[in-house]
Amino acid sequence: MVQYSSTLDSAFTAVADPTRRGILERLGRREATITELAEAFDMTLTGLKKHVHVLETAGLVRTEKVGRVRTCRLGNRRLADESAWIANYHAMLDARLDSLGSFLERTKGDER
């Protein structure tokens, strides 16, 4: 399993906040300017920009400034590594339950 990956760190950190998850869902429907996002989430421009910066660092959002307007779009990262890490974790938990099950079966056999 990938333990020491800085991309996992930044992506999980990015989606650990409800406003940032909301921004991703909002941008999934349509691109938006910083001002539009700030209004949608009832935040100051400064507060909103901080969230966008975290998402941008994680590769989940990209922004483009034309004149005084910065437009945000979804980035190229799809959280595939994060999904894979959780799937591996599930597989490990299942293997552990299976081995516990086998142990209990064997113990039951011994009691007969």
Least CB distance to its own copies at residue 64 (A):
18
- What CA–CA distance (Å, rounded) separates 88 from 63? 32
| Interacting residue ranges for its own copies, rule: CB under 8 A | 1, 3-5, 8-9, 12-13, 15-18, 21-22, 24-25, 28, 74, 78-79, 82-83, 85-87, 89-90, 92-93, 96
CB 13 within 8 A of CB 27: no
Work out how close the CB of 18 gets to its own copies at its nearest, in angstroms, rounded to a whole number: 5
Cα 86 to Cα 15, 28, 48, 80: the distances in Å are 14, 23, 29, 10
- Please name the residue that has the structure tokens 């894979």: 84
Cβ proximity to its own copies: between 16 and 45 the closer is 16
What 3-state DSSP class applies to 68?
Answer: coil
CB neighbours of residue 60 within 10 Å: 23
Closest to its own copies by CB, 45 or 87: 87
- To the nearest whole angstrom, how small is the minimum distance from the Cβ of residue 1 to its own copies? 6
Question: Do residues 61 and 23 make contact, with C-beta atoms less than 8 angstroms apart?
Answer: yes
**Minimum CB–partner distance for residue 28 and its own copies (Å):** 4
Please identify, using beta-carbon distances, which residue of 37 and 82 lies nearer to its own copies: 82
Q: State which residue, 4 or 111, has the beta carbon closest to its own copies.
A: 4
